[in-house]
Structure 1
Amino acid sequence: MPIIGRKSHTKDGQKIYIRIGESPPAIKDGKVQEGAFFIILGDDMGEKSIRLTDQEAIDLANRIITIYQLHVRMYRKLDKKTYEEYKQSHTANNEKIEHEIVKFLLKSGGQCTIEDIRESLSVKHADYLTHLEKEGVVKIKGNNVFLNFGERENENDINDKST
């Protein structure tokens, strides 16, 4: 019997395996004998065999393929959903961090040091300062952080300055 596939696992020191084999159709004594597929389950204690007709084998294979395709679609949806949830929580968390930094700077008179933010709030808050500087919320000069009270420049302001 040719073996189509074999898979084995070791669980609690015991080997467990599944083997799928086939017995192809043949002609014996001038008559066609049906082929069959076999699923053999075994472990260290012995094995059991299940015989499948061609139709049963193809039905089982089609069911596995169909379920596999559903799994793949589900994984894609879960991946998108997980990413969206992460993005929403990450955005909300960043807004909270930004709010806490601005509130801290306002209480400090609009300026403080990076160490003050790191010690009073957290390292994550101090790391977020570079993002806030890119957004135009704060200015960082050396170790000092200043709240940017002026409006953020936009493209129209830049174009007006260049003319």
Structure 2
Amino acid sequence: MDGVDGVVEVEVVQLLVSPAHRFAGRPADGPSDAPGDELVGSVEVRGGLGLVGDRYFGRPAHRDAAVTLMAAENLPVDINPSVDLRHTRRNILLRGVDIDSYVGATIVLDGGSGPVTFGVNRPARPCAWMDVTVGPGAQRALRGKGGVRCTPLSDGVLALGRATFRVVGEDGGPR
């Protein structure tokens, strides 16, 4: 990792908080309508619970995967130039770090409002929905780079813009 003391400058490009699970049923039927604008300027993170207002917040079955981070560099813009978090259903889009390589680590993001710690538990594997919401071939294009499922380990706020990224441990918690 580059940077002073392992700290890397990154950009929080997009944040998505959605109260509804839009990709239910068969992909051929298409996603449900979006409940308003799911892209937000900032999010409140609660340790062990997730993102306040998100569909997975506080759900026991999703505690080890309540927040999904993805690298902007991995978006399949060759398939769909306008692809974003609304298409991939990830929560935090980062530019400047290969987040997929940190499975098993504990990481900290700090956008200036204080550090927010995440346990990076497992890859977020792309599903057949990606070929519907992004475009044909997206599921294959995102294999191995569809983001990571995380447990938030501390409370805090993340906002769009510049942030720092650092690894603070090698055991991301439950997987």
User: Using CA pairs below 8 Å that are at least 6 residues apart, which structure has the higher relative contact order?
Assistant: 2
Q: Fold conserved (TM > 0.5)? A: no
Whose radius of gyration is greater, 1 or 2?
Answer: 1
**TM-score bracket, shorter-length normalisation:** under 0.3
TM-score w.r.t. the length of structure 1 is: 0.22
TM-score w.r.t. the length of structure 2 is: 0.21
Larger helix proportion, structure 1 or 2?
1
